[in-house]
Structure 1
Amino acid sequence: MAMFYLGAGIFLLFFSDSFQIDRALLNIVGGTFLFYGVYRIYRASVSVFKLFFSKNNDQD
């Protein structure tokens, strides 16, 4: 899902020349999608790092 937001943000910001929607709206939505995609990738990588590479071995 993070890759979708990242791709949609990049598409709306840089490759949406043929749309009939106001350019300011495309920039706002595209920027929001881009930043949210980057945030979700960051949070997912932190979560994976904590899960697999933390020194807290809590095995039963």
Structure 2
Amino acid sequence: MLFFKLRPLLRSTTAEKELAALKEEFAKLKDVFDKSEAKHKEVQERQVALIQEKNDLALQLQSRTT
């Protein structure tokens, strides 16, 4: 009889531990994702700057040859 009363409590404790572990894993993954997103944005901005620089140089070259 006592076992049947304690069994749900044991499941509850296990579920709480699993939930805490999942929350911790989520926090770590979110941090990694945020860093990745910041790096992606930085790379995109650098790409735009390089494309603009390439176009400027192409215009300079074209104006000198004509």
**For the superposition of Structure 1 and Structure 2, which TM-score range results when normalised by the shorter chain?**
0.5 to 0.7
Which structure carries more relative contact order (alpha carbon 8 Å, separation 6+)? Answer: 1
State how many pairs are aligned. 40
Confirm or deny that 1:22 pairs with 2:8: yes
Alignment partner, residue 41 of structure 1: 27
Structure 1: runs of 5+ lacking an equivalent:
1-19
Pairwise CA distance, 1:36: 0.3
- Counterpart CA distance in 1 for 2:17 and 2:35 is 27
Tell me the percent identity. Answer: 3
Q: Work out which of the two has the higher radius of gyration on C-alpha atoms and give 1 or 2.
A: 2
1:12-53 deviation line (CA, Å, top 9, x unaligned): xxxxxxxx873311211001100000011111110001111x
TM value normalised by structure 2? 0.48
Q: Which has the higher helix share?
A: 2
- Counterpart CA distance in 2 for 1:41 and 1:34 is 11
Aligned CA RMSD, in angstroms, stands at 2.5
What secondary structure sits across from 1:35 in the alignment?
helix
What secondary structure sits across from 2:44 in the alignment?
coil
